[in-house]
Structure 1
Amino acid sequence: MTSTKAPRRALVVEDERTINDALTQRLRAEGFDVEQAFDGPTAVDLAATTRPDVVLLDVMLPGFDGLEVCRRIQATRPVPVLMLTARDDEADVLVGLGVGADDYLTKPFSLREVVARVAALLRRVDRAAALADERPAVIEVGALSIDPGTRRTTVAGESVHLTPTEFDLLLCLARAAGQVLARERLLREVWDWGDAWGSASASRTVDSHVKALRSKVGGERIRTVHGVGYALEAVGPTGQGRA
């Protein structure tokens, strides 16, 4: 039976035409409807008019850069964003995550990896939508409150804005509060990654997102166990000791 489900829509934002065309062709071969943009202003306009399900976004763009594109897109409508960057500098990655990117890939990358990352992002979006329908109970860890249904987070009653990936990471840690979760487990449960990528890249992805999350909920709430992973701790409103 032929599926009547509408294809997913992707927006590819990359000023190098060769890369843009290669990404577009591969995504179309995977069944996506794809729009292309080659500069910042066009990307923002297309995101508003076509309402993509996912955005592949280069950092360096004419007009204004990918970080500003991401800010403007996310301010209007939350959408998963995969940042494409020529630099793997941690500061650059953290800035990208801070403006609403969900994941990032460093150039050069394989088209197979791009497709896998996009698929993982969309699976997480689908799971989040299903979870919202179930109206699960709010989770409280010290002064931290996480509502899986509304995807809202507060610290001592103050709302905290998290990207979809940051929320999923925090929720995963909260469901096993006090327990140390290995990076490999976080990659499986939050990013839906298998064994397709090297451990160094995988570790950087987890560590970068944890650092971004700490800047929002408080560094003392997420404990590092070197060589293993992370644990969410019950900390009071002042950040001093357990609640």
Structure 2
Amino acid sequence: MKDPAFLFYSQDFIVGVQTMNFEDRGKYITLLAQMHQQGRMSEETIRFLVGSVSDNLKKKFSVDENNNWYNERLELETEKRKKFAESRRINGSKGGRPKKEEKPLGKPLGKPKQNLPEDENENENENIIEYLNQKTNKNFKPSTQKTKDLIKARLNEKFTIEDFKKVIDNKCSQWLNDEKFNRFLRPETLFSNKFEGYLNENNSHPKKQEKQESLRDKMKRMYNE
């Protein structure tokens, strides 16, 4: 029997469709529901279901070796739900959940390393890369292992999602319209070991220029009096 449901993260969806009009949003959620029930689809089937497909809508899907469209996040959530349901079924056949391991009596020598849960890591990857794609009009994938490793490393250093967004804003203001440096608006550059330096850059050059200009105007008035 086909699973009738999949996990739907409302916040991630709202962030992910910010640049889409309402027509594309409707087509997007329709295709997600159809793919959850029927699996990957050809472009012909997709156009039969929803009609025209904009470039903005295309960015939400990948294409496999058979030219079938699919959504990476949907397949990831479907597989996680399937594994969870299977684990519950196995535990039930054994008479319930497995017993918890007994805690050691002695105190640990050091603090345990705290890692974010897998689901939380994936959600934060999605939010950060979605924001980067919106700002740069590019199409980076949050599922790329190198990207996941870089984001995880910075999060483990106690940087926040807002820090990531500030770094993206800082560098976009400098490089977005620069043909030479625009190509460096990518995860491996922005989220590398220079992350903290990018975060603390001061992009207040226009204010400095205003102060200099106002000082020159003041000097002119003094000499003209």
- What is the TM-score of this pair, normalised by structure 2? 0.27
The structure with the larger Rg is 2
- What is the TM-score of this pair, normalised by structure 1? 0.25
Q: Which structure: greater helix fraction?
A: 2
